Amino acid sequence: MPAAEVIGRPDTLKIRKIPLWSLRLAAALASTAGLVFRGRRRSAVMLQWMIWSDTHDAVAPACGNQRLHDVYCAKRDAGLRNSNDVGG
């Protein structure tokens, strides 16, 4: 369950899938453009990082026993308690 649902708002974040070949093509074009235009070097580096992060597993080992949903709910409930205490 996304954090937006915990606080009762609609989830407006839409995650789209981008084919890896298109990132590689864009990185190659940005690298080539970076030879001529200095500003394109950053674009090439960012695209190369996106490719690396898409192709390498960077998930940490599981530890603990709390779920993220439970943490969100606890923070929401603590915020509601604090707002009620201030008003009365």
What pLDDT was estimated at residue 87?
44
Residue type, position 7, single letter: I
pLDDT digits (tens, 9 = 90+) for 13-55: 777 888 888 888 988 888 888 888 887 788 888 888 888 888 8
DSSP 18: -
| Domain map (residue ranges) of the chain | 3-87
User: What CA–CA distances, in Å, run from 47 to 33, 37, 42, 50?
Assistant: 13, 16, 9, 5
